[in-house]
Amino acid sequence: MGIAVATLVIGSYEDIRSREVDKFLFIPLVLVGAIGMFFNQSSPSLDLLPVILFPVFLFFSLFVRFVPWFYTIVGIASFAVFLYLSPPGYFLQLAVIFLIYLLGIGERFFGVGDIKAMLAICTGFSSPFIYNFIKPSFAQSIFPFDFGFLFTVSIVSMFSVFYVLIMNMRKGQKISIDSLFSFGYDEDALKKNPERYSARDFKGKQIMVYRLPFIVPIFIGFLIVSAFGNWFIL
């Protein structure tokens, strides 16, 4: 838990400052997490090794830059292989990890550093930290940590929409679908903070898209799930 928090604090700082995270930052977390998961079993068994190693394999595959179609093939093939090798009952856990990996295709939703962070966390945690002290309900125990973690990160990330909307309202722009996801083109702002915005053509005009430092919502989502478990299920 301490390694995860320290790593995410460093990652959040780097992401806010430059929108980039050191590519080696999460290696200690994924290695310690994998070793800890193996020996955390009541009686360490090789049966669960494929479940533990699936996110580890995907994590290290991200150090190789693949074109999107090959990136997808690597994910599908590895998911099929590790699912076949894993004992019954782990389909949902492996499927969520596979989905996290797919969110990095072409870096359209999450950057490589963000995917590495989520895979490293999924490697080291099989259940929310709070469940070491309180017993979850039956419904809460059905969903693996990975599912609750990804769901919570998605909810937290959605709040970036409100930030963009408020900033546009402060500039006097009309409220529209566009104002939820982009800013009007501002060359001075783009030159002053090139790491925060990316310029794109949209409907024949240039807009600026805010580059959210996703390690921050990943960190917040991790803390929420660690403290409250699968909070979305009573």
Where is average pLDDT lowest: 70-79, 109-118, 143-152, 195-204? Answer: 195-204
42, β-bridge pairs = none
How many CB atoms neighbour CB 134 within 10 A? Answer: 8
The two tokens of residue 25 are: 């930052």
Per residue in 79-102, pLDDT (tens digit) is: 999 999 999 889 999 999 999 999
How many CB atoms neighbour CB 217 within 10 A? Answer: 21
Q: What is the pTM of this model?
A: 0.85
Nearest CA among 142, 189, 191, 154 for reference residue 168: 189
Nearest CA among 54, 160, 161 for reference residue 100: 54
DSSP state of 110: S
